[in-house]
Structure 1
Amino acid sequence: MLQVKDISFSIADKQILHNITFSIHQGKFVGLIGPNGSGKSTMLKIIYRHLKQTSGMVTLYEDDIIHISQKKLAQEIAVVSQETPVLFDFTVKDLVLMGRTPYKKWLANDNQEDFAIVEESMHLANVQHLENRTFNQLSGGEKKRVMLARALAQQAKILILDEPTNHLDIEHQYQLMDLVKGLPITIVAALHDLNLAAGYCDELLVMKDGALYMEGTPEEVLTEETLKRVFHVQAGISKNPFTKKLHLFFYTKQ
């Protein structure tokens, strides 16, 4: 569905990404993990064309994304980034309605279908009670869920999430992850919490020093040796008694 082929990225004389190649298959939940500064966010920004790679290619359905129109790309890929910049203080409902823009002709009005999709998206993201609030009145966690609602309203086939659980309390972290896991689309997420990655992702891409260190299932990737080499932590690995997924616990040698 989406292929990253020999991607490198540099700023001035500093190389940030080094010859990264991987494929993302339709319907999978793929997690990017790695220490701070490993290149996760940069890689995502190249995938959704916020940054242009120094070399290499990203293809969607075998088409180079460089040649896909912005409108068409927005119908295929929705993004919830770490930052939530909003230049004007829109209401939540108006902001979520912007997710319908890729399907609109110039100056076209919103219709009943748009409003129905927006209502459902706000309900899924649990922000319908905020619809008349302005964005700048919201907490960091509320802003994150509103931006997710806008991405859901976009009805794209791929959803890219950059640290989606930042600013969320533990209840809303799991609500958000349950929600996106249940979507019938492809999910690509940079995740800081390794237990969330282990519990929700079908496949993991491990980034280290701007390169792809390893890829595979959580069981293949999240080993004591990899955690030590990549994250520099001692770890034990067990199974969550409720979900039967991997559960990691970290410790230091005394």
Structure 2
Amino acid sequence: MLQVKNMAFSVPDKQILNNITFSVEQGKFIGIIGPNGSGKSTMLKIIYRHLKQTSGLVTLYEKDISLIPQKKLAQVLAVVSQETPVLFDFTVKDLVMMGRTPYKKWLAADNQEDFAIVEESMMLADVLHLENRTFSQLSGGEKKRVMLARALAQQANILILDEPTNHLDIEHQYQLMDLVKDLPITIVAALHDLNLAAGYCDELLVMKDGTLYMEGTPEQVLTEETLKEVFHMQAGVSKNPFTKKLHLFFYTNH
């Protein structure tokens, strides 16, 4: 449903991404991992059209994503970015209601269906109790969950997440990952926590120096050799005794 072909991106005097090619199957949870500066966020920004690639092609359902009208794209693709830019101090409920905008005509009023979807989205993201608070009154983790609720209200087929667990305590990290894992949609997420990536993702894309270094299942990708080569860390790989998923532990020689 989503294809990236020969994607490259550069700024003056620096190549940020080079010859990135991959495809995403419908319903998969795809994790993007790699060290800081490897190009994860830049690649996602190109996919959701915050940036324009220097060369290459991004297609959604075999159509050039740059040719899809913005409103139509927002019905198919929702985003929770690293930043939470809100120009005005809206209430949480009003912000989440903005997720319904792609389905509305100019100046159309919110209807009962919108209210029901917004309430359900706030419940799923555990922010319903914050609905009358203003965005500036929230903690970093609460803001992240509100932006997730707004994305859920879009009812899109693809959800793009850029470091979704930043600012979240350990309980809400796992709540968020459980929530998005259970959604009947396609997830593409850049993740720093490799154990979360191992436990929740169906497939992983490994970024290194602006290139796609490797792709495959967590078992194929998260090996001691790859972790040393890409992340420059000594690591052991075992199985989580509770989930039976991969579990990584890191150590140094000091």
| Smaller-chain TM-score bracket | over 0.9
Aligned length: 254
1:165 alignment partner, SS class: coil
RMSD: 0.4
Indicate the residue corresponding to 1:46 in structure 2: 46
Indicate the residue corresponding to 1:112 in structure 2: 112
List alignment gaps of at least 5 residues for structure 1. Answer: none
Identity of aligned residues (%): 87
- Distance in 1 (alpha carbons) for counterparts of 2:118 and 2:110: 11
Measure how far apart 1:207 and its partner are.
Answer: 0.1
Indicate the residue corresponding to 2:216 in structure 1: 216
* 2:205 partner amino acid: L
* 1:219 partner amino acid: E
Measure how far apart 1:253 and its partner are.
Answer: 1.8
Measure how far apart 1:12 and its partner are.
Answer: 1.3
List alignment gaps of at least 5 residues for structure 2. Answer: none
Counterpart check, 1:10 vs 2:32: no
- Distance in 2 (alpha carbons) for counterparts of 1:59 and 1:232: 34
- Distance in 2 (alpha carbons) for counterparts of 1:236 and 1:14: 35
1:100 alignment partner, SS class: helix
Describe the superposition over 1:84-104 as per-residue Cα deviations: whole angstroms up to 9, x where unpaired: 000000000000000000000
TM-score (norm 1): 1.00
Runs (4+) off by over 6 Å = none
- Distance in 1 (alpha carbons) for counterparts of 2:205 and 2:76: 22
Describe the superposition over 1:182-227 as per-residue Cα deviations: whole angstroms up to 9, x where unpaired: 0000000000000000000000000000000000000000000000
- Distance in 2 (alpha carbons) for counterparts of 1:134 and 1:55: 41
Q: How does 1:182-193 map to 2 (within 5 A)?
A: 182-193=182-193
Indicate the residue corresponding to 1:78 in structure 2: 78
Indicate the residue corresponding to 1:151 in structure 2: 151
Describe the superposition over 1:104-145 as per-residue Cα deviations: whole angstroms up to 9, x where unpaired: 000000000000000000000000000000000000000000
